[in-house]
Amino acid sequence: MPLFGRSGAHDAELRRPGQFGPYFLQELINSGGMASIWLATDAQGRAVAIRLLHHPLRFNFAARRRFLRGCEILSKIHSPEYVITYIAHGKIDGDLFLAMEYVEGENLKLLCARADPVVTESIGNILIDMAIALEHVHESGFMHLDFKPENVLLTRNARVRLVDFDLAQPKPDKPRKMSDNPGTPAYMAPEQIRRQPIDHRVDIFAYGVSAYELLTNRKPFSGDSAGEILRKQLDRSLEFLAPRELNPDIPAALEKTILKCLERDPDKRYPYLSVLVRDLQAALYV
């Protein structure tokens, strides 16, 4: 299941396995600053994953709103093949929860960090499936806004499940300025870091960063701050290397596709994920 860091671990560990409404919490999988993930069973004894907003945040309006928004958006996105399956969400004993499909697997960030062969052996299909998952989100009327390897689970048979819709927003008809700007700077498009109007093409940029990272084991634009990352995005004479300079085994057509995703000008990126998927399939002979 997805790992969210350890900053919220203490709060989660105060909870013990046991009954939680119609679910039985079996084991804490992991915890982060906002929520914990538990392996649980439902009333029929089936394995499910339960995501719980940390108890101290039950009075935090912003955290509650973000958590519930992610639940509601996931409930509207139906793609059991590429997106984590929604089961239910609500409140039990004052705690907000999300019940979803339990996946025996790990996120791509962890798998790549230990050079797991499941990634290297299936990288072509993973790249295509990630794009299809994101395409489905867009076709469902939303932008993910936090697309990165950490939010992509890989099952034991190398199937993709996109997770974490807390930051997702409705996809606008034309670029619009967001009221807030949460996300992960290393995967943000230049217009997003600058807090300019954005649309679904910021997800395409994030896909390009993620694909580059999976293929080269480094991010295209590194930095300790959003400002430093933006400076490197805009001036690519600063450390930027084309993917094939780091990994000559990457097909030239695939490199071209990734670089198009990483265009600083959104009008030069792919206009839609469907076009990106088509080019990925052609580049990878799938």
Residues whose CB falls within 8 Å of the CB of residue 256, separated by 6 or more in sequence, listed in order: 283
pLDDT tens for 37-83 read 999 999 999 999 999 999 899 899 999 999 999 999 999 997 778 99
> Can you tell me which residue has the tokens 């860091």?
5
Instruction: Report how far apart, in Å, the C-alpha atoms of 41 and of each of 27, 88, 223, 227, 256 are.
Output: 10, 13, 42, 45, 46
- Identify the pLDDT of residue 286: 60
CA distances from 85 to 98, 147, 172, 278 (A): 11, 17, 25, 25
Q: Walk along the chain (286 residues) in steps of 10 and give the mean pLDDT of each run.
A: 41 77 94 91 96 93 94 89 95 95 92 92 96 97 96 93 94 91 88 94 98 96 89 85 96 98 97 97 88
pLDDT of the residue at 12: 52
| Alpha carbons 130 and 108: distance in angstroms, whole number | 11
What backbone phi and psi angles, to 5 degrees, belong to 99? -100, 130
What pLDDT is recorded for position 47? 97
Name which CATH class applies to 105-283: mainly alpha
Residue 11: other Cβ atoms inside 10 A: 18
Q: Which tens digit of pLDDT belongs to each residue from 218-233?
A: 999 988 888 999 898 8
Domain borders along the chain are 9-101, 105-283
CA quadruple 32, 86, 63, 203: dihedral, nearest 10: 80
Cβ atoms of 198 and 189 within 8 Å: the answer is: yes
At residue 216, the 3 state secondary structure works out as helix
Q: Is the Cβ–Cβ distance between 248 and 242 less than 8 Å? A: no
CATH superfamily of 9-101: Phosphorylase Kinase; domain 1 (3.30.200.20)
